[in-house]
Amino acid sequence: MKKAFILLILLILSKIAYAEDFCGYVYDKNEIPLELVLVLHGNYSTYTNEQGYFSLNSTSDVDSLTFYLFGFGVKKRETSSFPTIAQVYMESKILSTKTFTFKVKNDSSVLPNNHEKVTISIDEDKKALDNVAEILSERADIKIEGTQLPGERQTASLLGHKSRHTIVMLDGVALNSSGEDFDLSTIPTEIVDRIEIYKNNMSSISGSGGIAGVINIKTIRSSKSSGNSSIGISYGSYNYKKVTLNSGFSLGRTSFYCVYSITSSENDFKYEIKKGNDWSKEIRENNSKSSQNLILNMSSNISFGSIYYSGKFSSYDNELPGPTNFLLVYEKAKSEGHELYQNLKIKKNLWSVDTDLDIYQLSKKSEYTNTEATITNNYSNNISKNSKLGAKLTNRYSYADIEPISQYSFSSSVLGSLSKPLGFFDININSSLRYDDHEDFNDFTTYRVAGDISYNSIITPTFNASYGTSFTLPSFYSLYWKGDSQAVGNPDLFPPAAFYKKELVYTPDIQLSASAVYDISNYTLKVMYNKTGKQWTTRDNLREPLSSYELVNVSASKSFSIKRIQSNISTNFNNIFNKYYEIYAYNPQAPFNWSVNLNLKYSFD
């Protein structure tokens, strides 16, 4: 026993002796101190202060320190030659791309147009919904993750994958190709004409992130809404209010479609929390959300060709309460910002070949403020900006996509298709091959072969299948985020289960969805059921997992007309059995909530 005790003491002393201190200053090439540089040594990390100074105590055996700051190249320093007080210089860097895609296909669309595509048309019932996330939540084969209340962040999961493995596109422009998921609640229903869903691996076509598939949101064309004006009013739980005004009109060969909407909700719902051995009910305070959207679409047919413009400006102001175990740390925290999306399409026939030119811009700015918390060690005020500018050129035989700012250094693709009738059968085969050479990560070669066969008869059965490989780039959050000893990023890109060989975190052991629709005359009734199994919250699986839960949502609507006025009234009842549950630890979800929507549409024609 005495020898074991001495051995334990020696082991502890060896660990203490092994610990190393690293400190120094980080500058740019002009010797200006750099603040908030992330300094990593294995699983140990710290940030530089306003003077560029850092100090890190580490017991890791990794042989180098890594310095990371957005807008600068990654810097590494060997620990074996690390001075007592180091001076580290980082160089600014612009990540650029040169992308070329060749397509052997007589079609201006890069995404396949076959039985793999599922199209959701936006009818009058769906127009009463607030955003794209609510539209997709009605499908049993798509899991919407996040609090299903207005203004709350909501993402989509396909085929059981993580939401960041689904690429979200707006008119064919990828919105989350850098390894992150996308908040579908930021796209209002008013601008959507239809939603195209492609399941299964699509990386060889869409690039990084298309492991689970692609959700392509097609905006409404102004020519479809010409001669109509409408007003929509919604009210619901937690003082939810929304007003929408839209109008379409034509001037000569040019048609316009304008939409303005304003939404607000307090979202102060009740939730259950365990204190000691007892459960009590609290109110989710400081959780109000508000947003405004302004949309303008224009299409024109002139002698030069056809022109289409789509513009969307959004602003938001959201309160962000923290997890229930750290409410005072995030007291009165909030996020506000705006987003601008513009897309200009020009189509012209050149030498008997239709040629399309797309120019697009996506610009975002957000500010996170947490300066009024009771606990003062988390005060912060961060501003982030993100912009994307690019162009696409498409004709009958080729396709080119240029993005000046991207994570890729080079990528290229080859696509092909074959459609052939064979007796009573129709056969379609699509194939694609893509190569991505990334400066900071490995090279990726992805491929995909998909096909379907249909038998032509009174009832046409179709069998389709696909096989291929996919990849996704890790986001900055996935790489470097650090919360505690359990909640850390993965800078070395090890498989998530390799550390403990346990179940993956926040991955339900079972997911089940079902829906039923009753539609007769102008009445529609929908019932949605969803079951989510237990989820582990730590990689060692030692902490008690989140409990499984079942949700049932019901919606009903009725449409009717009075002369030139078309009316639609609908109601939505979510979580009708008032279940209290969590999808992330210490982040409660809303119990039963409801909304009533009225839409009046007047036709001038």
The mean-pLDDT minimum among 83-92, 151-160, 498-507 falls in 498-507
Please tell me the distance from the alpha carbon of residue 461 to that of residue 256, in angstroms, as a whole number.
42
- Residue 333 pLDDT: 86
Q: What angle do CA 576, 577, 581 make, to 5 degrees?
A: 105
Contacts of 385 (CB under 8 A, 6+ apart): 363, 364, 365
Asked if residue 335 lies in contact with residue 291, where contact means CB atoms within 8 angstroms, the answer is no
pLDDT in tens, 213-222: 889 998 887 6
- Residue 494 pLDDT: 54
Local confidence band at 27 (pLDDT 50, 70, 90 cut-offs): very high
Query: On the CB side of 572, how many CA atoms lie within 13 Å of its CA?
Result: 24
Looking at the chain, the whole-number percentage of residues with pLDDT higher than 90 is 13
The mean-pLDDT minimum among 258-262, 440-444, 541-545 falls in 440-444
Burial class (CB in 10 A: 0-12, 13-18, 19+), 491: buried
Residue 416, SS3 per DSSP = strand
Return the amino acid letter for 488. V
- Residue 112 pLDDT: 62
Asked if residue 366 lies in contact with residue 335, where contact means CB atoms within 8 angstroms, the answer is yes
pTM of the model: 0.70
Read off the pLDDT of each residue in 48-73 and give the average, rounded to a whole number.
85
The mean-pLDDT minimum among 95-104, 171-180, 428-437, 450-459 falls in 95-104
- Residue 142 pLDDT: 83
More confident residue, 463 or 229: 229
The mean-pLDDT minimum among 369-383, 479-493, 539-553 falls in 479-493
Read off the pLDDT of each residue in 25-46 and give the average, rounded to a whole number.
86
Sheet holding 213-219, edge to edge: 117-121, 192-199, 213-219, 166-170, 173-174
Looking at the chain, the whole-number percentage of residues with pLDDT higher than 70 is 75
Asked if residue 586 lies in contact with residue 275, where contact means CB atoms within 8 angstroms, the answer is no
The mean-pLDDT minimum among 11-20, 79-88, 197-206 falls in 11-20
Asked if residue 372 lies in contact with residue 334, where contact means CB atoms within 8 angstroms, the answer is no
Local confidence band at 419 (pLDDT 50, 70, 90 cut-offs): low
Read off the pLDDT of each residue in 232-259 and give the average, rounded to a whole number.
90
Please give the domain boundaries of the chain with CATH numbers for all domains: 2-90 (2.60.40.1120), 107-217 (2.170.130.10), 218-603 (2.40.170.20)
Burial class (CB in 10 A: 0-12, 13-18, 19+), 330: buried
pLDDT at 304 over 50: yes
What residues pair up with 463 in beta bridges, in sequence order?
A: 453
Asked if residue 325 lies in contact with residue 586, where contact means CB atoms within 8 angstroms, the answer is yes
Please tell me the distance from the alpha carbon of residue 257 to that of residue 226, in angstroms, as a whole number.
7
More confident residue, 127 or 496: 127
pLDDT in tens, 268-302: 999 888 777 788 888 998 899 999 999 898 888 87
Determine how β-strand 410-422 pairs with β-strand 99-104.
parallel
Q: What angle do CA 62, 91, 483 make, to 5 degrees?
A: 45
Q: In sequence order, what DSSP letters do the residues of 44-58 get, joined into one string? A: EEEE--TTSEEEEEE
Pick the closest to residue 146 from 157, 160, 135 (CA basis). 157
More confident residue, 440 or 53: 53
Read off the pLDDT of each residue in 45-53 and give the average, rounded to a whole number.
86
- Residue 488 pLDDT: 58
Pick the closest to residue 345 from 311, 294, 303, 315 (CA basis). 311
Read off the pLDDT of each residue in 139-164 and give the average, rounded to a whole number.
82
- Length of the chain, please? 605
pLDDT at 115 over 50: yes
Local confidence band at 234 (pLDDT 50, 70, 90 cut-offs): very high
Local confidence band at 392 (pLDDT 50, 70, 90 cut-offs): low
- Residue 96 pLDDT: 41
Longest dimension (CA), the chain: 97
- Residue 89 pLDDT: 92
Please tell me the distance from the alpha carbon of residue 96 to that of residue 410, in angstroms, as a whole number.
8
Asked if residue 289 lies in contact with residue 267, where contact means CB atoms within 8 angstroms, the answer is yes
Please tell me the distance from the alpha carbon of residue 218 to that of residue 194, in angstroms, as a whole number.
5
Neighbours of 194 (CB within 10 A): 13
- Residue 100 pLDDT: 34
- Residue 291 pLDDT: 92
Return the amino acid letter for 333. A
Residue in the structure block whose two tokens are 């959207």: 293
Local confidence band at 353 (pLDDT 50, 70, 90 cut-offs): low
Quick one: tokens of 182?
Answer: 């996308």
The mean-pLDDT minimum among 1-5, 272-276, 538-542 falls in 1-5
Read off the pLDDT of each residue in 81-96 and give the average, rounded to a whole number.
78
Residue in the structure block whose two tokens are 């969307």: 312
Local confidence band at 596 (pLDDT 50, 70, 90 cut-offs): very high
Local confidence band at 120 (pLDDT 50, 70, 90 cut-offs): confident
For the stretch 201-237, what's the b/e string if a residue is b when 16 or more beta carbons lie within 10 angstroms of its beta carbon?
Answer: bbbbbbbbbbbbbbbbbbbbbbbebbebbbebebebb
pLDDT at 554 over 90: yes
- Residue 3 pLDDT: 52
Burial class (CB in 10 A: 0-12, 13-18, 19+), 52: buried
Asked if residue 203 lies in contact with residue 469, where contact means CB atoms within 8 angstroms, the answer is yes
pLDDT at 427 over 80: no
DSSP 163: G
Please tell me the distance from the alpha carbon of residue 238 to that of residue 536, in angstroms, as a whole number.
31
Determine how β-strand 166-170 pairs with β-strand 444-455.
unpaired
Q: What angle do CA 379, 380, 383 make, to 5 degrees?
A: 165
DSSP 331: T
Residue 344, SS3 per DSSP = strand
| Residue 176 CA to its chain's centroid (Å) | 6
* Mean confidence (pLDDT) of the chain: 77
The mean-pLDDT minimum among 91-105, 174-188, 234-248, 554-568 falls in 91-105
Return the amino acid letter for 480. Y
Neighbours of 492 (CB within 10 A): 11
Please tell me the distance from the alpha carbon of residue 378 to that of residue 374, in angstroms, as a whole number.
10
pLDDT at 137 over 70: yes
Determine how β-strand 213-219 pairs with β-strand 166-170.
parallel
Read off the pLDDT of each residue in 87-99 and give the average, rounded to a whole number.
65
- CB pairs under 8 A, 24+ apart, for 538-544? 538/486, 538/487, 538/505, 539/486, 539/496, 539/497, 539/499, 539/500, 539/502, 539/505, 540/486, 540/500, 540/502, 541/500, 541/502, 541/503, 543/486
Quick one: tokens of 480?
Answer: 């470097």
Residue in the structure block whose two tokens are 């291929």: 468
Report which listed range, 69-73, 227-231, 380-384, 409-413, is most confident: 227-231
**DSSP-based helix, strand, coil % in the chain, nearest 5:** 10, 55, 35
Please tell me the distance from the alpha carbon of residue 318 to that of residue 335, in angstroms, as a whole number.
5
More confident residue, 591 or 434: 591
Pick the closest to residue 313 from 334, 329, 297, 335 (CA basis). 297
Residue 480, SS3 per DSSP = helix
Pick the closest to residue 27 from 91, 84, 119, 79 (CA basis). 91
- Residue 409 pLDDT: 38
Local confidence band at 450 (pLDDT 50, 70, 90 cut-offs): confident
pLDDT at 18 over 60: no
pLDDT at 312 over 50: yes
